[in-house]
Amino acid sequence: MPSSPVRPIGGSRRAPLALLLASLLLAGLAAPAARAAATAGEETRARMREIFSSMQLLLPLSADGDLGDPAERAAVTKALEALAADADLLAAHARENDPGRAYLGRSLASDARNALDRYREGRTESAAFLVQQATENCIACHAKLPSPGDSPVAETFVDATALAKLRPEERARLQIATRQFDDALATLEGLFADPGVHPSAMLGPLTDYLIVAVRVKNDFERPIPVLERFAQRPDLWVQLRGDVEQWIRDLRALRGLRDEPPTLARARQLVEEARSGSPLAPDERHLVRYVVASSLLHRWLAEPERSAAEQSEAWMLLGVCELQTSDTFWLSQAEFYLETAIRRAPGSPPAQRAYELLEAETIENYTGAAGVELPPSVRKRLGELHALAEGR
């Protein structure tokens, strides 16, 4: 795994322990491995509490685009230092079968250190920007798996007055980052109904909406009437209206999956169906299928004892889904997923397919007016991954 997150130059498209184990732990009968897992879980929760505390200070202060208040200098410096250290520890304590959390921890730590460097240099506006962008890591982490409910602690995370000043799409992403999922859905629903905002500004928010509704809330019903009303807007162009109508059909067709155990076979089927319908990216028409497939894959990978070959295929499929559902240039999870697929089972067909996708995505991200300009370090990394993918 790379020791630090990979930032693309160009823009890409946008379970707790079982009750039995808990009882064994309480009785003092758990095996050493179980006790170690519980200790790691406590360590993770402790790190998350500290990260939450740091972000609770930093986000409101950075909401206006600057961290220039001299009275807050000591507190901001301490919070940025703590955020970087806790994110590093979060990455270090991620379970072997949760490399995604390790990646996001490293990414968050990198953002915090960069923000701290800018802040110490007196570049307070740049530091504020980096703090806000760091929430992309929180969003990515919180939107992977179903959530039992919104966070009551986060209700006063950001002052309501400051929150109201943000554009709806910005407000919704901050609400997702702070686990206020129902509020985020309501914010986005208000945006979709606003005739003063052109639908071209809603493509990213529509993706966020479906990810939160389906992947986090496991709710296939709520989006349907919202999308039906949205499809009636007179300012939708033909392709977008067709996309939305397909999303509605897919939500209805796939809602039975919310109660089924996740399987790799079902996720593979959804991805293959989507790609057979539209093999070239980007593919807005089959967005719901990619979101549902990614939900199945995240939940499937959260379970232990998956073979290396199965894990490789699952990470490769996640990379495919991420290429279709991500609209952030700041956090390149697709590249990480594809690299993980290669490293999980070198020489396997999924690893080879993952490399093909990763190579194409990397070249696209470094393509400009002067042609393809791959830095030497990127060429070297691709060469190493190609050799792994081919089993050499």
Domain holding 96: CATH number? Answer: 1.20.120
Euclidean distance between CA atoms 2 and 126, whole angstroms = 26
Residues 131 and 103 in one domain: yes
> Which residue carries 């072997």 as its tokens?
96
Last residue of a domain, one of 205, 231, 257: 231
Residues 39 and 87 in one domain: yes
Q: For the chain, how many helices (H) and strands (E)?
A: 17, 2
Residue 7 is predicted with a pLDDT of 38
Can you give the pTM of this predicted structure?
A: 0.78
Does a structural domain hold residue 49?
yes
Does a structural domain hold residue 51?
yes
In this predicted model, what pLDDT tens digit does every residue of 219-231 receive, in sequence order? 999 999 999 999 9
Residues 80 and 153 in one domain: no
Does a structural domain hold residue 242?
no
**Spatial CB neighbours of 159, under 8 Å, sequence gap ≥ 6:** 60
Does a structural domain hold residue 169?
yes
Residues 207 and 149 in one domain: yes
Does a structural domain hold residue 264?
no
Euclidean distance between CA atoms 119 and 220, whole angstroms = 43
Contact 68, 125 (CB under 8 A): yes
Residues 53 and 136 in one domain: yes
- Structural domains of the chain, count: 2
Is residue 85 packed enough to be buried (19+ CB in 10 Å), middle (13-18) or exposed (0-12)? middle
Cα separations (Å) of 284 from 22, 27, 144, 315?
43, 52, 20, 21
Q: What is the torsional sign of CA 74, 173, 14, 49?
A: positive
Residues 218 and 117 in one domain: no
Residue 14 is predicted with a pLDDT of 37
Last residue of a domain, one of 231, 265, 293: 231
Residue 373 is predicted with a pLDDT of 79
Does a structural domain hold residue 86?
yes
Residue 78 is predicted with a pLDDT of 92
Residue 173 is predicted with a pLDDT of 83
List of the chain residues with pLDDT < 50: 1-38
Find the helix or strand (DSSP H, E) in which 368 lies: strand 367-368
Residue 74 is predicted with a pLDDT of 92
Residues 178 and 83 in one domain: no
Euclidean distance between CA atoms 9 and 330, whole angstroms = 9
Residues 133 and 176 in one domain: no
**Structural domain containing residue 120:** 31-140
Does a structural domain hold residue 238?
no
Residues 92 and 162 in one domain: no
